Structure 1
Amino acid sequence: MSLPTYRSILIRVAVAALLVAVAVGGIAFFVEMEIADELVSDLAKRESSAFLAEARDTLPGVAPRESALQPGEALERFMHRRIQAAQAPSPDGLFIVAELYDANKVKIGEHIAPGAEWAEERLRNSRHDFPPAGTFQYERYTIDGRFFIQTIESLTDQNGRVLGYFESVFQLSPEHSHEIIKDTVTVVAVSSLSVILAALVLLPIFVAFNRRVMALSRQLLDANIDILTVLGSAIAKRDSDTHAHNYRVTVLAIRLAEAMGLDAVAIRRLVKGAFLHDVGKIAIPDRILLKPGKLDVDEFTVMKTHVVHGLDIVRAADWLTDATDVVGGHHEKFDGSGYPRGLVGDSIPITARIFAVADVFDALTSRRPYKEPMPFEMAMGILREGEGRHFDPAVLARFAAIAAALHAQLTALGDDGVEAELRRLVGQYFAGA
């Protein structure tokens, strides 16, 4: 369990505010575009209705024909007048392309404003269905800050009978285009800034509220680490009359893990496992655990069960479950001759392989009630004898490169100094991660 810093909270709140601002801005943009669509569509519908009112009697199927004009001529005349009207102040816009179809969907008229050939090409290349009677289809697009709408509408008589179809590209006037863009930008900006300002106003409240929560979380983390330390030390004292072994072997394991390039998450698992590697010995009878001489076969069989007992203990607490790799694997051997599962090579978790080297090294070089510490070179010789059998050769090689300096440091620190160093490292990997 790692705790967030105030800086990380600020970053998270800032990122969340920006994401919400972007989302709100996107929604605002969508709404404004819908409004723009409705505006442009209404203008296009109004123009097509004006054409229908003027040229209805020229369409095939209308009887009696009151006009001598052909449909195409009527379309040209209507468009010419609309272009002239567009010169008036603040026009809504105009059709730059218009195509007229009869009821059988055959083109009977076409008008292309000067310079609008590109729009006519767009109509030619677009595939669409002709809409049912009384309906209207459109597609909006923007080019160089100007709004255009491609429309197709059925032209019907008073009885709803389809007389033809009117397809067009309608160009919104510069004034209307600018107004739509300005309104859209304004709404999006105001919406986004409102979210950001709200986040800035709420941030001090949020931080103040979380200050107490974070303090309680840190207290809980410290309590968990203290329990971890106390439990591991209690087992170590029962087994060897000292808890210094737990401290030294954990420091050795952390430094070796760092040299191996393990990340902080793996090192936190390693620390928990190192503290609790022998926690299962609490279930071993004193007559076996504290026997001064060598264990017989039956006694050793019982002793080996401490691994299974240890796994049962750490699995009972969610915060300790990631200690299982070391607790369950610290007696496995690289060649598969270890216990309880006889794992081989890389199938042994890397944290357990690292801990095995640190554990044996400290056992050899530490003073115990029943033995003196072994000289450094002699201890390293024993470790090398186990290369490829007990120990992972890659882990052992990396340990050999740092062992002399580490051993000298821990010897100089003494038991109290090692405890202080361990607490510093634990704080680094748990509280500051």
Structure 2
Amino acid sequence: MNSFNKRTAVRIAVVSALLAALVSPVAWFVAYKGAEDGTVWLAIDESRRLLHHFGAITLTGPEAGDNARKAASALAGGLFDIAEIYDRQGVKLAQAVTEEGEAVEEQLPSHVRPTYRAGFHESFRLEDRRWVLRVFVPLRGAAEADQITGYFEGVRVVPAWQRDQMRTNALNAALMVGFASLLCGTAIYPVVVRLSADNERKAREILDSHLSMMEALGRAIAMRDSDTGAHNFRVAWLAVRIGERLGVRGRAMQSLIVGSFLHDVGKISIPDAILLKPGKLDAEESKIMHTHVAHGEEIVSGIGWLEDAKAVVAAHHEKWDGSGYPRKLAGDEIPLAARIFAVADVFDALSSRRPYKEPMGFETTMSILEADTGSHFDAHVMAAFRPIAREVFNRLGQCNEEDVRRLLEERVRFHFGV
């Protein structure tokens, strides 16, 4: 299992566990309340059935009290421990109490004469931890459904076995919900991994196509400039190494890589007579040569991922003291990527072989860079480069174009996350 799959598995497991921890108590509460409500409505329905059976719904006439007492006696000791029946004026006609009811009657809160029009219930714990349900049921005759003919109130002390059963059922519901959450996480994991693998493959294909296009552009520029593509690979790798020392990461590092590789893309527009002239350029020719920066900006602007190259392409000839071109930017006005590239570019130009020159030694190269620090180069960038300068000089001195290409590719894949 690779690192991504491990992270995915851990994250899905954590989310599933948190979901189970959050949802399971809710499921327990809902199941418990459902059981409580079920008990209440069963008691209400059964009380109405018995009241109808004993004729204690229409509580009028000489037999009203007797019927109410019979119904109350039948209800007490069955579903209820206290059964009370009132007439339509709220006058108590009958009451029946079991031993359990007598034990809790004094602890029950008192209430006013009944006048409610809809049934409801109360649930509360007594001081001795017993659980009590009290139901309030308005009675209505069959002939006049909206006319209240009396009231029934019942108290049930929920027995321990029923409480245990309700808790057990609620706990089972909570465990099932928790298990379902974990099971969903387990089922989702391979789907996420597969989708991620597909996305990674597609991202790799896109990156490969982008890098191939970048390399093709770089080679085209280098061939026009009577050079191989090795310079682009070297300066891009050098820029990455310096950028890493400076803590450049993410999109900024990606921009530095693309910009360093395509820094001279604007030279495509420079006439061969000027670009390939063996001697020194005159003033007019230098002016034309300087336009490669603007042309490079135009080439990379508005072309998706090439847009990231703009900072280096536009400012790679600027100098720390403001004497560069084309905008004569100075100090921190120059993008950091361009300041990093400036050091990498001059170091490579001095220390590598070119068609028109032999490579300089390490000490000579560094002495020139040190002399121009503070004028051409940012001292902060030089401070980051100085400790690795000897290492990169020795390493590049042993590399051909294919070797340095592999060096850059390794850092590209690291910083592009592929």
Q: TM-score, normalised by structure 2?
A: 0.71
User: Are 1:82 and 2:86 matched, yes or no?
Assistant: no
Pairing partner for 1:12 from 8, 26, 41: 8
Pairing partner for 2:112 from 87, 96, 102: 102
Pairing partner for 1:291 from 245, 269, 277: 277
Equivalent residue number for residue 56 of structure 2:
none
Distance 2:149 2:306 in 1: 77
Distance 2:124 2:216 in 1: 71
Equivalent residue number for residue 392 of structure 2:
406
Equivalent residue number for residue 392 of structure 1:
378
Distance 2:176 2:27 in 1: 14
User: Are 1:253 and 2:239 matched, yes or no?
Assistant: yes
Equivalent residue number for residue 39 of structure 1:
35
Rate the CA distance shift 1:197–1:377 in 2: closer, same or farther, 3 A. same
Rate the CA distance shift 1:350–1:164 in 2: closer, same or farther, 3 A. farther
Rate the CA distance shift 1:311–1:244 in 2: closer, same or farther, 3 A. same
Q: Does the CA contact (< 8 Å) of 1:133 and 1:154 recur in 2?
A: no
The worse-fitting range, judged by mean Cα deviation, of 329-338 and 361-370 is 329-338
Distance 2:398 2:372 in 1: 28
Equivalent residue number for residue 365 of structure 1:
351
Q: Does the CA contact (< 8 Å) of 1:273 and 1:327 recur in 2?
A: yes
Distance 2:107 2:281 in 1: 101
C-alpha displacement of 1:369: 2.1
Rate the CA distance shift 1:139–1:30 in 2: closer, same or farther, 3 A. farther
Deviations 1:108-140 (A, max 9, x none): xxxxxxxxxxxxxxxxxxxxxxxx742647789
SS at 1:54 equivalent? strand
Structure 2 counterpart of 1:98, which letter?
A: L
Rate the CA distance shift 1:177–1:319 in 2: closer, same or farther, 3 A. farther
Pairing partner for 1:329 from 306, 315, 327: 315
Equivalent residue number for residue 71 of structure 2:
none
The Cα RMSD (Å) is 4.4
Q: Does the CA contact (< 8 Å) of 2:317 and 2:324 recur in 1?
A: yes
Segments of 5+ residues of structure 2 without an aligned counterpart are 48-79, 141-145
Distance 2:279 2:157 in 1: 100
Distance 1:236 1:220 in 2: 24
Structure 2 counterpart of 1:15, which letter?
A: R
Equivalent residue number for residue 430 of structure 1:
416
Equivalent residue number for residue 364 of structure 2:
378
Q: TM-score, normalised by structure 1?
A: 0.69
Identity %: 34
SS at 1:102 equivalent? coil
Pairing partner for 2:336 from 350, 357, 368: 350
SS at 1:101 equivalent? coil
User: Are 1:276 and 2:270 matched, yes or no?
Assistant: no
Distance 1:327 1:150 in 2: 80
Deviations 1:70-123 (A, max 9, x none): xxxx7xx85964266xxxxxxxxx899532332699xxxxxxxxxxxxxxxxxx
Rate the CA distance shift 1:40–1:414 in 2: closer, same or farther, 3 A. same
Q: Does the CA contact (< 8 Å) of 1:103 and 1:164 recur in 2?
A: no
C-alpha displacement of 1:22: 5.2
Report the count of equivalent residues: 377
Deviations 1:200-244 (A, max 9, x none): 567667767876765554344333323222321221232242222
Structure 2 counterpart of 1:99, which letter?
A: P
User: Are 1:187 and 2:173 matched, yes or no?
Assistant: yes
Rate the CA distance shift 1:33–1:318 in 2: closer, same or farther, 3 A. same
Deviations 1:410-432 (A, max 9, x none): 11334443333333333443354
Q: Does the CA contact (< 8 Å) of 2:23 and 2:178 recur in 1?
A: no
Distance 2:273 2:33 in 1: 88
Structure 2 counterpart of 1:329, which letter?
A: A
Could you say which structure has the larger radius of gyration?
A: 2
Distance 2:357 2:177 in 1: 75
C-alpha displacement of 1:359: 0.9
Distance 1:288 1:367 in 2: 21
User: Are 1:134 and 2:162 matched, yes or no?
Assistant: no
